[in-house]
Amino acid sequence: MSARLQTPPHAASSMTGAELQVHGLSAGYNGFEVIRDITLSITPGLTVIVGPNGAGKTTLLKALAGLIGRRGEVTLAGDTLPAEDATTCVKRGLALVAEGRQLFPQMTVTENLELGGWLATPAERARRLAQAFDDFPRLKERATQLAGTMSGGEQQMVAVARAMMSGPRLLMLDEPSLGLAPRMVDELLAITRRIADQGVTVLMVEQNVRKALAAADRGYVLERGHIVSAGTAADLLNSDVIRRAYLGAA
Ligand SMILES: Nc1ncnc2c1ncn2[C@@H]1O[C@H](COP(=O)(O)OP(=O)(O)O)[C@@H](O)[C@H]1O
Ligand SMILES: [Mg+2]
């Protein structure tokens, strides 16, 4: 069975979360469009985007986050996310964990987390920090450790926790498991699943296709700047196209 182009169904468990609507999105660099005319509806829950290197996955997340120019309409829970205005996107509830984490290595875990709450009042920032340490007990033990001295998996957790410090309605993650040991990949996917279950809409780009789809509600396949397939994660896991192209099935 091949996955058809369709709007995936809502996850019944998390109807309270924010929906991301993307219509006719195009973006690229130096006048060259890498992604073209993308229309998506990211419903509450955990959605994964897969696709080969160079397909435009990172470009898509950057365009949504207001980090690069784009054309098209983007709304989050009905609020417009403006093009090339990352600060307004954060204020309207979007958080991005970029490729490569981009922590401040010479700052402590706590300092890195506090930076994620820069738009919040000090009281709200303190409340979110306490919440982050509840959600990531491993980070609480290491609150005063310099971020640069932590393992790759721990640094990725700091990056996710820092993104959560902005109090997002939509959390986007760009290949969070890149370079991590299998056990850390599992832990990270469990964390993203829990965040989605708590009502934050999660949109994740992942190379670890099998594990990511196993944790997700829905998936999209992006190839050469276009969405070529969409469906429930279960349907995609079982589709011949996905199995052949991404899961190494004969
Ligand atoms: N800053 C940039 N300037 C010019 N071209 C870029 C830039 N970033 C990415 N590209 C090009 O855009 C295309 C898509 O890249 P990217 O979105 O990073 O793909 P993916 O994340 O799916 O691997 C590639 O051909 C890449 O070379
Ligand atoms: Mg990428």
CB-CB neighbours of 151 under 10 Å: 11
Nearest ligand 1 atom to alpha carbon 68: 1
Does the pLDDT value for residue 8 go beyond 80? no
pLDDT band at 4 (very low <50, low <70, confident <90, very high): very low
For the domain made up of 1-93+168-250, the CATH class stated in words is alpha beta
Does the pLDDT value for residue 226 go beyond 90? yes
Residues having C-beta closer than 5 Å to ion ligand 2: 57-58
12-21, 104-113, 130-139, 234-243, range with the lowest pLDDT: 12-21
The mean pLDDT value for 87-111 works out to: 95
Give pLDDT, residue 100: 86
Distance (angstroms) between ligand 2 centre and the Cα of 205 equals 8
DSSP assignment, residue 27? E
Predicted model pTM: 0.92
Distance (angstroms) between ligand 2 centre and the Cα of 95 equals 17
Distance, in Å, from the CA atom of 177 to the CA atom of 156, rounded to the nearest integer, reads 8
Give pLDDT, residue 178: 94
CA angle 208, 213, 216 (to 5 degrees): 125
Residues in the chain: 250
pLDDT digit string, tens, across residues 29-43: 999 999 999 999 999
11-15, 108-112, 122-126, 165-169, range with the lowest pLDDT: 11-15
Are the C-beta atoms of 63 and 50 separated by less than 8 Å?
no
Reduced 3-state DSSP string for 46-106: EEEEECCCCCCHHHHHHHHCCCCCCEEEEEECCEECCCCCHHHHHHCCEEEECCCCCCCCC
Residue nearest to atom 25 of ligand 1 (CA): 54
Amino acid sitting at position 49: I
Q: Report long-range pairs for 193-196 (Cβ below 8 Å, ≥24 apart).
A: 193/46, 194/135, 195/160, 195/164, 195/171, 196/14, 196/17, 196/44, 196/45, 196/46
Are the C-beta atoms of 84 and 68 separated by less than 8 Å?
yes
Please name the residues in contact with 5: beta carbons below 8 A apart, sequence gap of 6 or more.
Answer: 227, 228, 229, 230
Nearest ligand 1 atom to alpha carbon 53: 23
Give pLDDT, residue 249: 63
**Domain spans of the chain, in order of start:** 1-93+168-250, 94-167
pLDDT band at 28 (very low <50, low <70, confident <90, very high): very high
Are the C-beta atoms of 202 and 192 separated by less than 8 Å?
yes
Can you tell me which residue has the tokens 């986007």?
A: 172
pLDDT band at 244 (very low <50, low <70, confident <90, very high): confident
Distance, in Å, from the CA atom of 207 to the CA atom of 53, rounded to the nearest integer, reads 9
Give pLDDT, residue 16: 67
Does the pLDDT value for residue 3 go beyond 90? no
147 vs 101, which has greater pLDDT?
147
Residue nearest to atom 13 of ligand 1 (CA): 54
